[in-house]
Chains A and B, each alone.
Chain A
Amino acid sequence: MTEILSVLGLPLLGALLLALWGHKRRAAELNALASGATLAAAAALTARVIADGPLLAVQGQFFVDSFNVFLVALTAFVAFTTALFSRPYMRIEQHRGKLGPNRMRLYHSMFQLFIFTMLLALLTNNMGILWVAMEAATLTTVLLVSLYRTPSSLEAAWKYFILCGVGIAQALFGTILLYFAAEKVLGAGGGALLWTQLNAVKAHLEPTVLSLAFVFLLVGYGTKVGLAPLHNWLPDAHAEGPTPVSAVLSGLLLNVALYAVVRSKILVDGALASHLAGNLMMGFGLLSVVVAAFFLSRQKDIKRLFAYSSIEHMGLVTFAFGMGGPVASFAGLLHMTVHSLTKSAIFFAAGHAAQKTGTQIMDDIRGLLRQSPTVGWGLMLGSLAILGMPPFGVFASEFLILTTAMHSHPWATPFLLAALGVAFAAIFGKVQPMVFGETTAQRLPHPPALLPVFAHLALVLLLGLYIPPYLADWYRQAAALIG
């Protein structure tokens, strides 16, 4: 109870303080401190859940089980490392005159508020509040995407707002339908939207209404996951916003949106005898993997390239959860974790690479290794990890997803393998000349923060070689829950 309140309270407090002092010289440190404190609270919550099992708090309004506790820990961790990375990164941007003190205040405060909305979405037990938190997450990031106020960043933010706003309106309709079905069984009032109560009576929920509700929820939250064909906002928002924002959008927000989809799927699967929810997710997931892979080779902007790679990987996870079963769900959860760690590490390295060369166009970024071995290797190793090279953790999860697909849905494997191959050729072919060769990079006015990059990559490597038993236990329990 105290743990949950501090996990939510600390970023909110941080947002308030930074709204007042976010333009001061020490604001970046305060931002990191608030994120660090949130991480400590999340660690305490995690320890509590490991010790005592699932937790209900505040009259059932908050719920923590093995499925969301690891996402809470992951969100708090990546938020903390991103805050560490953003300190030198944003200082360089300020030094170059791209941002004034007021924008820095907006940035710091909105960053904390964004973390708060994601943690709220993860911890709440109420499907309605989940919707409210997801919408609030969009609202807090709209102003972050348009932070530079350039014409293209404004366009990206507008597109992001309208597409995600319309998408999330569909999810609201889905939530209304869910409530409509639940009210018949549980009676009107606040209890009928609580996930734990819905989960207890899911077998009695009206199947027609629930299948319609799931279609709306999947389309709505799927827009935020970046599933094709609703992915248009994602590359623009990632490319035009400041890099720390791209890192948390890709590494965290997409996961949280997918979490909302999976929570709904658990309910629908219980109400329906058929495999409708899983089939829909497999279809959308496979389409996203294929579409994203073929867009990768046409990209010129480094951040757009990795944004499309995020669409591909989220598609893969959605496909895994759609297949269902203990192995595929386990692999999906593992892939969520390793993708989030690797992709944020890549964005950190790519952000500094873009600062060193003064451009995001990949043709003009050359020979990073010669000027800065750490940025160069960070980008190279990160790309190899995300492409699924062993021994990184992405290999393990992709291998599990592919073998399960071969076993239960053999028709899908050629598409997946072809897409992964195309993605490999496209990304590796573009990253290699950026890292090696004659350099176009220059020294930065502040030393770059590369500790987060290597910390993330080390964790991904660790997960590829050895998964700690308690983590494997969580994954197994969560996979059993997802079904």
Chain B
Amino acid sequence: MALPLTSQLINVLAALLLLISFAMLSQRRVLSLINLYAWQGLVLAVNTFTVAYSTGQDHLYFSAALTLLLKVLLLPWILHRLIRKLNVKWDVEPLLNIPVTLLVGIVLVVFAFNLALPIAQLAGTITRSTLGIAMASVLLSFLMMITRRKAVPQVIGFLAMENGLFFAATSTTYGMPMVVELGIALDILVGTLILGIFFFQIREAFDSLDLKHMERLRED
């Protein structure tokens, strides 16, 4: 059975999203990570727009515009400014065992698809096949947060996780109600700004943004 053009496009975009998640997992340079994050936002915005166009859900146009504004323009701009001011723009993070991390990532993707299968079958949306990808990108961002030892990449992992959740919301339900989406966007924006302030405090106290200095509070 041939799929209509829009759902083929949605599937392509979902595949791109998953690829970007894997790229983020293996990317060592902070600057490239931010660019990847912006690309991921763009894929999300285009995807939301396509879904809006093919289903006639008007509020999704608004949601796509919000994504474009916040995740492609504003947040990457803030992050770029931050790393320039913090002077970590060209930082390269030594990552152990990229191949192993990627293999764990593949296992997570399989797991996510299995978990999503029963829910996706209940969904009546044209995007339901992408729920597995949405869950996979949430899990991959989570893996990224675990493996990173520096503050900025950890936060980008956190933001990427929110992207995955947003994708899950569009693929199961055509997006959350508008007021909730606005609230979530506000939280993400304020959170990023607060973390920006926080980076400076951390660097002032520890002289670096390496989280290995921050392992002193523990039970002995």
Contacts and interface: CB of A to CB of B under 8 A. Distances in A.
19 contacts: A135-B187, A136-B187, A139-B194, A143-B194, A146-B201, A149-B201, A149-B204, A154-B201, A154-B206, A162-B145, A165-B158, A166-B142, A173-B165, A177-B172, A180-B123, A184-B122, A190-B179, A208-B118, A236-B217
B173 A180 contact: yes
B15 interface: no
B156 to A, nearest CB: 13
A142 interface: yes
Interface stretch (A44-52, A124-132, A255-263): A124-132
Given A165-B158, A176-B173, A212 B119 contact: yes
Given A136-B187, A173-B165, A151 B206 contact: yes
B173 A188 contact: yes
A209 to B, nearest CB: 6
A155 B177 CA distance: 36
Given A162-B158, A172-B184, A295-B219, A193 B177 contact: yes
Contacts of B20: none
A139 B162 CA distance: 15
Contact of A139 (B57, B172, B191, B206): B191
Interface of A: 126, 128-129, 131-132, 135-136, 139, 142-143, 146, 149-152, 154-159, 161-162, 165-166, 169, 172-173, 175-177, 179-180, 183-184, 188-190, 192-193, 206, 208-209, 212, 236, 240, 295, 298
A239 B129 CA distance: 46
B190 A139 contact: yes
A161 to B, nearest CB: 7
Contacts of B57: 188
B62 interface: no
A161 B168 contact: no
A176 B184 CA distance: 12
Interface residues of B, number: 48
Contacts of A165: 158, 191
Residue of B179, B187, B201 with most partner-chain A CB within 10 A: B187
B96 interface: no
Contact of B186 (A132, A142, A152): A132
Query: In terms of DSSP, what is the predominant structure of the interface of chain A?
Result: helix
B168 A173 contact: yes
Contacts of A157: 198
A188 B142 contact: no
A128 B177 contact: yes
Interface in B71-121: 118-119
Tell me what chain B mostly uses at the interface: helix, strand, loop, or mixed. helix
B214 interface: yes
B195 interface: yes
Given A131-B183, A180-B119, 10 more contacts: A143-B197, A151-B214, A154-B202, A176-B168, A180-B123, A183-B173, A188-B174, A193-B180, A240-B217, A298-B219
B35 interface: no
Contacts of A146: 198, 201
A402 B118 CA distance: 39
Nearest to B188: A135
Contacts of B214: 151, 154-155, 158-159
Contact of B187 (A132, A159, A236): A132
Contacts of B215: 155
Nearest to B174: A188
B178 interface: yes
Interface in B185-216: 186-187, 190-191, 194-195, 197-198, 201-202, 204-206, 211, 213-216
A192 B158 contact: no
Interface in B141-180: 142, 145, 151, 154, 158, 161-162, 165, 168-169, 172-174, 176-180
Contacts of B118: 208
Interface centre among B168, B183, B194, B219 (most CB of A within 10 A): B183
Given A159-B217, A165-B191, A206 B183 contact: no
A236 B218 CA distance: 8
A172 B119 contact: no
B139 to A, nearest CB: 11
Contacts of A156: 217
B140 interface: no
B38 interface: no
